[in-house]
Amino acid sequence: MTTSEIIRDFVTTELVLDNGAKKLSDTDKLIDSGIIDSMDILSLLSFLEEQFKVEIESDELLPDNFESIAVMAKMIDGKLDGNRGNE
């Protein structure tokens, strides 16, 4: 599974319980459209750090970084690529 698919699966199964969420695209605005709220961001933060074994720094805890599945996947993939360079 890709990073985007893993994040989408979490959002649709754990955060959004209606069937319409299954149709989320990578670019749907999650916060602006009310799909997720600030409490969901905390759940996402915890999930992302545990699932991908990364640390999301306090200066990265901005709504823009949780705007869409694509944005989150880009942030995580960037961290994973950076970690590979340190091995």
pLDDT in tens, 33-53: 888 998 999 999 999 999 999
> What is the C-alpha separation between 20 and 33, in angstroms, rounded?
13
CA angle 27, 33, 34 (to 5 degrees): 125
Q: 3-85: what CATH class?
A: mainly alpha
Residue recorded with tokens 């991908």: 52
pTM: 0.87
Instruction: Give the helix/strand (H/E) hosting 6.
Output: helix 3-10
Distance of CA 78 to the CA centre of its chain: 13
Sorting pLDDT into bands at 50, 70 and 90, what band is 82?
confident
15-19, 38-42, 52-56, 75-79: least confidently modelled range: 15-19
Look over the chain and give the mean of its residue pLDDT values, rounded to a whole number.
89
- Give pLDDT, residue 19: 54
The reported pLDDT for the residue numbered 17 is: 64
